[in-house]
Structure 1
Amino acid sequence: MSERKLRAWQAAGLIDADTASRISAWEAAHSRSIGVWAIVGLGALTIGLGLVSLIAANWEQIPGTTRLAIHMLLMIALAAWTWWSLPRGRMHDQVHDALLFVGAVLGLTFFGHLGQVYQTSSPLWQPLLAWLLLFSPFLLLFGRGWPVAGLWMAGLLGTMWTHAEDHGHIWSLFGRTEPPWLYWGLIACPPMLVAGAAALLRSRSERPAFWRLLEQMAVATIFTGLSLAILLHGWDGDGSLLPGSALIHSIALLAAAAAIAYARRTASGRATAALLLIAAALHLIQALVPYGHGAARAWISSLFFCLLWGAVAAAAIHAGWRRLFQLGVAMVALRIIILSFELNDDLLGSGVGLILSGLFAMAVAWATIRLSRRYAPARGDAA
C-alpha cells in the first residue's frame, strides 16, 4: 500500500497516525518483491514452454502407449497430491482449485489423446459423458471456487448439447422435424435439477460458496436458454415449441423453485423461486399460444421476452440485486428497440425510417438510464 494513500486517509480522518504507522509496518513486513516473483514466473514459463516444445518436436517418435502412460501418471500424481494435501490444510483454496482444474482438464484431454493413439472415432458426447461420470465426484466433493464450478457446468452443458446434436439437430426442438417430445423435454432438464440440488446442498455443506456458484450458474443457464427459446420462436416463422417438451421443462422448473424456496428462506431465495415459477408459466404458455405471422408474431414474442425480464427486474428490486435489475431493464429496452426495427422494416430503406428508428432507440436508452438510476436497489447480497 502506498504511503500517499495512507496520508490521504489520515488527512480525511479515516485513520489516525498510530493506525497508519501500524499498517505501513505490517505491509513492509509482508510485502513481496514483484520483480523477484516476475522473474521466477518468467523462468517457470520458459521451462514449461521448453518442455512443450521438446515434446511437440518429438511427438511422432514417442510411442503412443508411452504418451498415454505419462499422461495417466500425471493425472494420478496430481490427484494423489491434492488428496494428500487437502485434509492437512497445506494449500490455499485458490491453489487447491487450480490443481483440481488442471487435473480435470488433463482427464478431459486424455480421451482425445486416447482416440488419437488408437485412431478411434465416436460422437463427442460419449467422451464428454465419460469424463463427467468419472470426474464429477472429484470436482463436486472438493471444489471450492468458480474455476471448478464453471468447468463442471461447462462439461454438463457440453454433454447435453452434443448429445442433442447427435440425436437429432438441436433445431428439432422448434418443430423442424418430428422428434420425440419426451427426449427434447428431458435433455434440457439437468440445469433445473442442478439449481435445486445446489440450493439444498448449500445449507448442508461446509462449502456453501461453491454450491452457491453452481446454483447461480444453473439459474443463469436457465434464463439464457429461455430467452433464446423466446427469441428463436419469435423469429422463426416455421418453428413451434413442442407442448409436451415444454410441459416437462415447466415441471422441472417448478421442482427447482420448490427446492430453492424450501432450502433458502430469505429474500434472495424467495425471489429466485418466484422467478422460476414465472419462467415455468411463461414457457408453457408460450408453447400453447399460436404466434401467427408477421407483426403479430413479433408482438407476441416481444411480450413474452419483456414479461420474463421484467419479472427479473422486479425480483431484483425485492432481493436487492442491483446489477441484475440493471440487466433486466436493459434487456427489456433492447427488445423494445429490436421490435421497433422489426415493425418498421419497410421504412428502414428510407432516410425518414432510419431517423425515426434512431430517435426511438435513443429515447428508449435515455428512459432506461433514468429508470435504472431511480429504481435500482442498493448493493445487496447476490442470489
Structure 2
Amino acid sequence: MNTLTKLNQWLQAGLITPDQYAAISAFEAENQPRSNGWLYSFMILGAVIIGLGVISLIAANWANITDSTKLGIDFSLLFVLAVGVFWQYPNRRHGVWFEVLLVGFMLLCLASIGLISQIFHLGGQWYHALLFWATITLLLSLFARSLFTRFFWVTLLLQGLVWSLVDFTIPDIWQHWKALPAVLLLAPLLSATLYYATFPVKTLRGFSTSLYFWFQITAMIALAAIDIARSGGEMTEYQIAWFVPAYIAAGLLALGILSHRHYRWLNKLLLLSALGLLLLYFHPDWLFSGQSRYSLFGSQAHPTVGFWQADDIRAPLLTLAILFLYALHSGNSGRQHTFNLVTFVIGLRFVILYFQAMGGLAATGVGLIVSGSLIIGMTWLWYKSRERLRAWTTGLQA
C-alpha cells in the first residue's frame, strides 16, 4: 500500500483535512526517491555484457599476451573506473552512473585478484579471495546508495566468511561432504550476528536489510536440511569440532540479542530459546541416534522404539517448536510479513508430517480425499486466523 493510497483512506475517514492532504502529498512528491530499479538493472546488465565481451577477447588471445601487458590493461581499467566513480560521486544520491561504475570497479577488483593470483602463482582458495575482496572494498560499499550494490557486497562477504571460517576446522572440506551441516548451521548464525553488529554503527545500517534477508533464507535452508537429515536417520558420523565456528557465532549472537535495546525480555527469551533448540538439533548425539524410526501406518516401525523416541517424530516436532518461537518473536516485534511467512511454513510442515505419519492411509482414495480436505481446511484456517494470531503475539506483555 503506497503513501497516496493511505492518504486517500485517511482523508475519507476524516483523519486529515484536505489542506493536510495537499501538504503531505507535495512533501512526499518532492522527497520521494526515484524508482530506478529497472534502469539500474539494465545498465548493470549492459556493463556485465561488455565485461564478458572484453574477457572473451582477452581469453582468445591469452597465451599471446605478456604478463606485463595483462597487468597494465587491468590497472588501466581500474584507474579509468576509479576516475569515473570519483567524477560521478557528487551525483551519487540519484545518479545511476555512479552505481554502475561503482559495481564495475568492485567487480574488476575481484577479477584483478584472480589475475594477480594466476600470474604470480599464488595459493589460496576462492573463498579466501572473496574475503580479501570484501575487506578491500568495504569502504567503497559504504558509499553505495543502491540496495543492489550493498546486497552484492554482503552476499560475497558471507560466502567468503562462512567458507573461510569452516576451513579452519575442516581442512579440504570439498572432500568431506558430511561436514556440510557445519556450513548450513554457521551461515544463518553468522548472518544474524553481523545483522546485530550493524545497529551500533550508523554507517553500517545500510547492510542490515541484506543481512536480514540472508539470515532468513539460510535459516530456512538449514532447518529444512537438518529436518530431512534427522528424519531420514542421517548425520550419524561427524565430529563436534566441525561446529566450533558455529558455536562461537552462536555465543556472539546471544550477546547481540541480549544487548539489543529495542527488544523486550519476551523477545530475547524467544530468540534465545529458538537458538538453543537449533544448536541441539545439530548436535551429533544428544537427542538423535540416527537408528530409531517410527511409522504409524507403515511397515518400518521399530518394535523397541516408542512414539516419542523416534527420530522421524522428534525432528518435525523440533522444527515446529523452533518455527513457533520465531513466529511469536516476529509477531511481537511487529514484523508482519515475516510472521505470515513463518506461520505458513508451520502449516506446511504439519501437512508434510501428516503424510509422513499416514503414508499408507494417504495412498488410498479415501485417504486422498481426507488429505485434500485437510490441506484446504488448514489453509483457510491460517488465512482467517493470521491477523488474530499476529495481534495476539503483538499484545504479549513484556
CA distance in 1: counterparts of 2:389 and 2:382, whole angstroms = 11
CA distance in 1: counterparts of 2:94 and 2:257, whole angstroms = 27
CA distance in 1: counterparts of 2:344 and 2:212, whole angstroms = 20
Matched with 1:370 is: 384
Distance 1:215 1:172, change over 3 A: same
Say which SS state the counterpart of residue 278 (structure 1) adopts: helix
1:131 aligns with 2:137: no
- Report if the CA contact (8 A) 1:10-1:17 is conserved: no
Matched with 1:224 is: 220
Residues 81-120 of structure 1: pairs in structure 2 closer than 5 A:
81-82=84-85, 86=89, 89-92=90-93, 95=96, 96-111=98-113
CA distance in 2: counterparts of 1:372 and 1:221, whole angstroms = 22
CA distance in 1: counterparts of 2:49 and 2:331, whole angstroms = 54
CA distance in 2: counterparts of 1:192 and 1:286, whole angstroms = 13
Q: Render the CA deviation track for 1:119-152: whole Å, top value 9, x for unaligned.
A: 999753343344334334543x445553233223
Within the candidate set 333, 337, 346, 2:347 is matched to: 333
Structure 1 residue 336 displacement after superposition: 0.9
Distance 1:188 1:267, change over 3 A: closer
Distance 1:268 1:305, change over 3 A: same
Give the counterpart letter for 2:334 in structure 1: G
CA distance in 1: counterparts of 2:172 and 2:373, whole angstroms = 46
CA distance in 1: counterparts of 2:254 and 2:145, whole angstroms = 24
CA distance in 1: counterparts of 2:354 and 2:232, whole angstroms = 18
Structure 1 residue 49 displacement after superposition: 9.7
CA distance in 1: counterparts of 2:334 and 2:46, whole angstroms = 48
- Report if the CA contact (8 A) 1:230-1:304 is conserved: no
What are the ranges of 5 or more consecutive residues in structure 1 without an aligned counterpart?
31-36, 176-183
Distance 1:54 1:211, change over 3 A: closer
Distance 1:94 1:155, change over 3 A: farther
Within the candidate set 209, 224, 236, 1:213 is matched to: 209
Distance 1:352 1:45, change over 3 A: closer
Structure 1 residue 303 displacement after superposition: 0.7
What are the ranges of 5 or more consecutive residues in structure 2 without an aligned counterpart?
296-309
Give TM-score, length-normalised by structure 2.
0.67
- Report if the CA contact (8 A) 1:278-1:308 is conserved: yes
Give RMSD over aligned pairs. Answer: 4.9
1:293 aligns with 2:322: no
Give the counterpart letter for 1:167 in structure 2: I
Structure 1 residue 342 displacement after superposition: 1.5
Matched with 1:199 is: 196
Matched with 2:152 is: 151
Distance 1:318 1:215, change over 3 A: same
- Report if the CA contact (8 A) 2:231-2:312 is conserved: yes
- Report if the CA contact (8 A) 2:270-2:328 is conserved: no
Residues 257-296 of structure 1: pairs in structure 2 closer than 5 A:
257-262=254-259, 264-267=260-263, 271=267, 274-284=270-280, 287=283, 288-291=286-289, 292-295=292-295, 296=310
Q: Render the CA deviation track for 1:345-364: whole Å, top value 9, x for unaligned.
A: 23344323322222222222
Within the candidate set 40, 54, 69, 2:72 is matched to: 69
- Report if the CA contact (8 A) 1:253-1:276 is conserved: no
Matched with 2:306 is: none
Q: How many residues of Structure 1 are paired with residues of Structure 2 in the alignment?
A: 353
- Report if the CA contact (8 A) 1:246-1:283 is conserved: no
Structure 1 residue 337 displacement after superposition: 0.8
Distance 1:196 1:48, change over 3 A: closer
CA distance in 2: counterparts of 1:189 and 1:356, whole angstroms = 40
Give the counterpart letter for 1:299 in structure 2: I
Say which SS state the counterpart of residue 239 (structure 1) adopts: coil
- Report if the CA contact (8 A) 2:187-2:218 is conserved: no
CA distance in 1: counterparts of 2:218 and 2:99, whole angstroms = 26
1:347 aligns with 2:343: no
Say which SS state the counterpart of residue 310 (structure 1) adopts: helix
- Report if the CA contact (8 A) 1:260-1:273 is conserved: no
CA distance in 1: counterparts of 2:215 and 2:326, whole angstroms = 12
**More deviation in 90-99 or 229-238?**
90-99
